[in-house]
Amino acid sequence: MNAPFYKFGYFGDGFSLILAFVIGIGFGFFLERAGFGSPRKLMGQFYLTDLAVFKVMFTAIITAMLGLFYLGWCGLVDVSLVYLPPTYLLPQITGGLILGIGFVVGGYCPGTSCVGVATGRLDAIVFLVGLMVGIFVFGEFFKVLEGFYNAAPMGQITIPELLNISYGLIVFVVVLIAVGGFAGATRVEKMMAAKKGEPRP
Dump pLDDT digits (tens) for 95-126.
999 999 988 888 898 889 999 998 899 999 99
Residues 6+ apart with CB under 8 A from 158: 84, 167
The b/e string for 17-45 (b: 16+ C-beta within 10 A; e otherwise) is eeeeeeeeeeebeebbeebbbbbebbbbb
155 burial (CB, 10 Å; 0-12 / 13-18 / 19+) is exposed
pLDDT confidence of residue 171: 92
Nearest to 64 by CA among 179, 171, 184: 171
**154 in helix, strand or coil?**
strand
Give residue-wise pLDDT tens across range 167-186. 999 999 999 999 999 999 99
| Entry pTM | 0.78
Nearest to 189 by CA among 61, 52, 40, 58: 52
| Cβ–Cβ < 8 Å for 116, 39 | yes
